Amino acid sequence: MSTLLGPDQAEGLRKLMRELPKSNTKIIAVTSGKGGVGKSSFSLNLGISLANMKDNPRKVMVFDADLGLANIHILLGFIPKFNLFHVIKGQKKMSEIIYKSDYGIDFIAGASGLSQLANLSDEEKENLIEALKEISYADFIIIDTAAGITSNVISFVASAHEVIVITTPEPTAITDAYGVIKSIVTEVENPDIKLVVNRVKNTTEATKVAKKVIDVCSQFLNVKIENLGFIYDDQIVQESVRKQIPYVELYPSHNVSVCVNHIARRIMNLEVSEEESGWKKFFKNVFK
Ligand SMILES: Nc1ncnc2c1ncn2[C@@H]1O[C@H](COP(=O)(O)OP(=O)(O)O)[C@@H](O)[C@H]1O
Ligand SMILES: [Mg+2]
């Protein structure tokens, strides 16, 4: 199997990111067992939410590392010409491949070519390290990975400070979430794993699914998973895909966007206030 970074390189990358001039860059990998559970739309909207936090805006870089189905650029409505592959090959400078979006986040495109980088030459490694130094201005780097347990995904997960596993309430997605957590626990030392339940009907369902995953991981893998929150199933997500405008921009006060803002606040360890949470509004609507 090919990897972008071997285990040593992943650890090296993690160390490197910590030693960079702005050493508090936090790398978050977003992954899942099953495909199509909403990683890309979540990664993008989470990034925008972190970047535009009223009381604490952050510099955010979103990196599309889904090598097979790179698609965040589609959600943003543009076609990237160059990607990290060109930088590693020395054909482009990092500044030439960073896309500055209208939404306060920067973006780097993934490339199918990346999966061929099993054996980076010394010069290419040097290029990659120099490239990473150039994005250390970011407070958060969000890596949208592919689904499943390929060595590429594990490399990205291993180089991240925390990993968010996405599931939906579907039984197959839950089983696969457990599977991916199991391999993270096996392959990564002291991983910091968090859970987001996407596409829920209501809070009862969200709680039930999260509890199921957290309990089974605690029981069989002896690992503590933090519940970061949930996102409602709503057609505004598809609408935002069609319009190629992220939903936190298109409908900033919609329940779906409020859910993502909550998750962003939890990641930043900020208070989630009643007022801001939109719960009042939510209950008002429910009991109207
Ligand atoms: N909360 C949600 N409500 C409704 N549809 C959603 C939601 N999250 C994701 N989707 C839809 O699911 C599909 C897959 O989402 P995507 O983000 O591409 O998943 P992944 O990156 O995991 O493959 C898209 O059509 C998207 O619009
Ligand atoms: Mg995706």
Q: Whose CA is nearest to atom 9 of ligand 1?
A: 38
Would the CB of 28 count as within 6 Å of ligand 1? no
Phi, psi dihedrals of residue 234, rounded to the nearest 5°:
-155, 145
pLDDT at 237: 97
Would the CB of 9 count as within 6 Å of ligand 1? no
**Ligand 1 binding pocket mutation candidate from 238, 239, 248 (most atoms within 8 A of CB):** 238
Would the CB of 176 count as within 6 Å of ligand 1? no
Whose CA is closest to 248, among 108, 1, 4, 47? 47
Distance CA 140, CA 264 (A): 11
Would the CB of 68 count as within 6 Å of ligand 1? no
Distance CA 82, CA 219 (A): 45
Percent of the chain topping pLDDT 70: 81
The reply to whether the predicted model has a pTM over 0.75 is yes
- Sign of torsion over alpha carbons 158, 150, 206, 256: positive
Residue 55 in 3-state DSSP?
A: coil
Give the angle subtended at the CA of 204 by the CAs of 217 and 233, to the nearest 5°.
95
What's the DSSP call for residue 99? Answer: E
pLDDT at 146: 82
pLDDT at 287: 44
Q: Looking at this protein, which amino acid is placed at residue 167?
A: T
Spacing, Cα 36 to ligand 2 middle (Å)? 7
Confidence band (pLDDT; 50, 70, 90) for 288? very low
Would the CB of 170 count as within 6 Å of ligand 1? no
Collect all residues with Cβ–Cβ distance below 8 Å to 66 and sequence separation of at least 6.
39, 40, 110, 144, 145, 146
Would the CB of 162 count as within 6 Å of ligand 1? no
Spacing, Cα 274 to ligand 2 middle (Å)? 32
**Ligand 1 binding pocket mutation candidate from 34, 40, 41 (most atoms within 8 A of CB):** 41
Distance CA 256, CA 49 (A): 12
285 to 30, 187, 198, 280: CA distances (angstroms): 32, 45, 21, 9
Ligand 1 atom nearest 166 alpha carbon? 22
Would the CB of 262 count as within 6 Å of ligand 1? no
pLDDT tens-place string over residues 148-189: 877 667 777 887 889 999 999 999 999 999 999 999 999 888
pLDDT at 16: 59
Beta bridge partner(s), residue 140: 26, 60
Spacing, Cα 258 to ligand 2 middle (Å)? 21
Q: Whose CA is nearest to atom 27 of ligand 1?
A: 238
Q: Is the pLDDT of residue 62 over 80?
A: yes
7-286 CATH fold: Rossmann fold (3.40.50)
Q: Is the pLDDT of residue 253 over 60?
A: yes
Using an 8 Å Cβ cutoff, are 205 and 198 in contact? Answer: no
Give Cα 194 distance to the centre of its chain.
Answer: 11
Distance CA 276, CA 230 (A): 16
Using an 8 Å Cβ cutoff, are 110 and 70 in contact? Answer: yes
Would the CB of 238 count as within 6 Å of ligand 1? yes
Say which ligand is closest to the CA of 36: 1
Q: What is the largest CA-CA distance in the chain?
A: 64
Would the CB of 257 count as within 6 Å of ligand 1? no
- In the chain the beta strands, taken as DSSP E runs, fall at 26-31, 60-65, 99-100, 105-108, 140-145, 162-167, 193-200, 226-232
Q: Is the pLDDT of residue 103 over 50?
A: yes
For 238, half-sphere exposure in the C-beta direction (CA atoms, 13 angstrom radius) is 5
Beginning with the edge strand found earlier in the chain, give each strand of the sheet holding 162-167 in spatial order: 99-100, 105-108, 60-65, 140-145, 26-31, 162-167, 193-200, 226-232
Least confident span in 6-20, 113-127, 136-150, 190-204: 6-20
pLDDT tens-place string over residues 12-45: 665 655 555 555 789 899 999 999 999 999 999 9
Spacing, Cα 263 to ligand 2 middle (Å)? 19
Confidence band (pLDDT; 50, 70, 90) for 283? very low
pLDDT tens-place string over residues 181-207: 999 999 888 999 999 999 999 999 999
